[in-house]
Chains A and B, each alone.
Chain A
Amino acid sequence: EVQLVESGGGLVQPGGSLRLSCAASGFTVSSNYMSWVRQAPGKGLEWVSVVYSGGTTYFADTVRGRFTISRDNSKNTVYLYMNSLRAEDTAVYFCARASWDYDSSGFFYVDWLDPWGQGTLVTVSS
Chain B
Amino acid sequence: QSVLTQPPSVSGAPGQRVTISCTGSSSNIGAGYDVHWYQQLPGTAPKLLIYGNNNRPSGVPDRFSGSKSGTSASLAITGLQAEDEADYYCQSYDSSLSAVVFGGGTKLTVL
B32 within 8 A of A: yes
- A116 near B46: Cβ-Cβ < 8 Å: yes
State the interface size on chain A (CB cutoff 8 A).
28
The dominant DSSP class at the A interface is: strand
- A103 near B104: Cβ-Cβ < 8 Å: no
Residue interface bits B92-104, CB-to-A below 8 A is 1, else 0? 0101011111111
A13 within 8 A of B: no
Residue interface bits A30-51, CB-to-B below 8 A is 1, else 0? 0000010100000011110010
Q: Name the CB-closest residue of A to B6.
A: A44
Q: Name the CB-closest residue of A to B57.
A: A114
A58 within 8 A of B: yes
Q: A44-B102, A46-B102 are in contact. Are A113 and B45 (CB under 8 A)?
A: no
Residue interface bits B14-50, CB-to-A below 8 A is 1, else 0? 0000000000000000011110101010001111100
Contacts A47-B99, A47-B100, A118-B45 aside, 7 further interface pairs with beta carbons under 8 A come to A44-B104, A45-B40, A50-B100, A103-B32, A112-B34, A113-B38, A113-B91
Interface residues of B (CB under 8 A from A): 2, 31-34, 36, 38, 40, 44-48, 51-52, 57, 87, 89, 91, 93, 95, 97-105
